[in-house]
């Protein structure tokens, strides 16, 4: 970690310092920063002043906060990043800020903006569907379980402190505020229950606020939705951590347990298996679990960095391609390379360039396949892929809001991954 000190005693603490940070108006309170450095992206509710800022061809988030809290949050976010937990990436802590009149200003925490992510209020303002709440709760429950498995006590669980990205029709949740967070070797039941109860309380309040602003249907039972976070969390936690006993002759149940975890999007890194003294029964408990089973498979096979449900969709299509080309006995890595060149990339490139920025490539691919299935069912025939792409582009994607984190006139380059 490096610390740079300027002549004005401004200090920048970062693992890698971007010199462009020095060009930002740190002597000005954040809420007064000029429009020419700001990025007009949707912001969630925060107790602190937060602004999105253009920097070196990308977008960063800057939050004014006390010095000790800024350093604490920076350290917690770095620790979560090392544990590969879904959270925003910290870039720097800025301290020693002073206004021209000599008035000290609050420190600032700088994080990388998570592309294609939206705060929950922006999602409801776009879609206003009751089922959106259910999908957000599911995503938040998965995030909370992942955090607790790593030993992270959040202390301020809410929709407001979370960012959401589309994940093949569902949502993936990312922690965006770690001010009150603490990383422990292992959490107590009391710590987990406190986080869970706080999540339920905050979610109910946030959804009531949406109803008051007419962004959520008044018929939605917000108490029931709030209770859902508890139900989803507890069922997922139980599946991941409970012990299971069975007869020694039923060892196939070990594989069945692993398969159930994989279906929930978790990979089993290690199992703790014990037997009775007489060796007749076996107990199994996942010792190390982590999310991202399908994501890692796609990354290994294709190099594509996608969300978990998107990865599941891609692997399903890869399996279909493998069967259709009668290549079940060939090395999967070679088949995946050809599938990427012959199916995935051509599908995304068939979408007009000006519309590709609306969604991530993997989400476009998922939606094309969903649309193909829908119109095939509707027309009672097998619609060719090229026809499905054309229909999806004109009838769906062209009318979708742009969810890409970019500015039309801000000089932010398009993603070159698929051009």
pLDDT exceeds cutoff 60 at 410: no
pLDDT tens by residue, 169-180: 778 899 999 999
pLDDT tens by residue, 110-121: 999 988 888 888
pLDDT tens by residue, 92-111: 999 999 998 889 999 999 99
Contact yes or no for 53/24 (Cβ under 8 A) = yes
Residue (of 271, 310, 317) closest to 292 by Cα position: 310
- Secondary structure of 200-269 in HEC code, one letter for each residue: HHHHHHHHHHHHHCCCCCCCCCHHHHHHHHHHHHHHHHHHHHCCEEEEHHHCHHHHHHHHHHHHCCEEEE
Give the chain's mean pLDDT: 84
Distance CA(387)–CA(383), nearest Å, equals 7
Mean pLDDT over residues 333-358, rounded? Answer: 92
pLDDT tens by residue, 45-93: 677 899 999 998 889 999 999 999 999 999 999 999 999 899 999 999 9
Distance CA(307)–CA(305), nearest Å, equals 7
Tokens of 196: 């869970």
Complete domains list, the chain, with CATH? 2-112 (3.30.200), 120-241 (1.10.510.10), 244-291 (no CATH), 306-399 (no CATH)
Tokens of 230: 């508890």
pLDDT exceeds cutoff 90 at 399: no
């Amino acid at each position: 970690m490096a610390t740079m000190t300027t002549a004005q005693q401004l200090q920048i603490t970062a693992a890698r310092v971007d010199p462009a940070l020095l060009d930002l108006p740190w002597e000005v309170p954040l809420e007064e920063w000029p429009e020419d450095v700001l990025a007009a992206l949707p912001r969630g509710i925060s107790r602190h002043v937060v602004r999105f800022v253009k920097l070196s061809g990308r977008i960063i988030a800057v939050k004014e906060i006390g010095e000790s809290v800024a350093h604490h949050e920076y350290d917690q976010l770095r620790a979560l990043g090392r544990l590969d937990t879904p959270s925003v990436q910290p870039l720097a802590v800025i301290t020693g800020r002073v206004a021209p009149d000599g008035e000290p200003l609050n420190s600032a925490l700088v994080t990388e903006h998570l592309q294609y992510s939206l705060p929950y209020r922006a999602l409801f303002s776009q879609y206003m569907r009751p089922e959106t709440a259910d999908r957000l709760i599911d995503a938040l429950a998965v995030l909370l379980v992942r955090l607790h498995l790593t030993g992270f006590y959040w202390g301020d669980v809410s929709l407001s402190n979370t960012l959401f990205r589309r994940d093949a029709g569902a949502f993936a949740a990312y922690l965006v505020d770690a001010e009150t967070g603490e990383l422990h070797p292992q959490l107590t039941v009391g710590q987990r229950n406190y986080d869970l109860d706080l999540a339920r309380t905050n979610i109910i309040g946030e959804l009531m606020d949406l109803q008051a602003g007419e962004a959520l249907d008044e018929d939605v039972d917000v108490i029931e939705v709030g209770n859902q976070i508890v139900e989803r969390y507890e069922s997922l936690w139980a599946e991941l951590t409970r012990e299971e006993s069975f007869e020694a002759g039923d060892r196939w149940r070990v594989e069945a347990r692993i398969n159930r975890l994989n279906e929930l999007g978790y990979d089993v890194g290690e199992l703790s298996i014990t037997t009775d003294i007489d060796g007749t029964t076996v107990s199994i408990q996942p010792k190390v679990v982590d999310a991202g089973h399908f994501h890692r498979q796609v990354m290994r096979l294709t190099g594509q960095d996608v969300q978990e449900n998107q990865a599941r969709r891609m692997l399903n299509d890869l399996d279909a391609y493998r069967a259709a080309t009668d290549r079940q006995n060939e090395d999967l890595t070679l088949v995946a390379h050809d599938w990427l060149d012959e199916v995935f990339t051509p599908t995304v490139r068939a979408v007009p360039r000006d519309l590709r920025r609306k969604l991530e490539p993997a989400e476009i691919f998922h939606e094309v396949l969903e649309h193909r299935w829908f119109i095939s069912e509707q027309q009672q025939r097998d619609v060719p892929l090229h026809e499905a792409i054309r229909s999806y582009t004109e009838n769906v994607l062209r009318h979708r809001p742009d969810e890409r984190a970019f500015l039309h006139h801000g000089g932010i380059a398009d993603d070159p991954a698929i051009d």
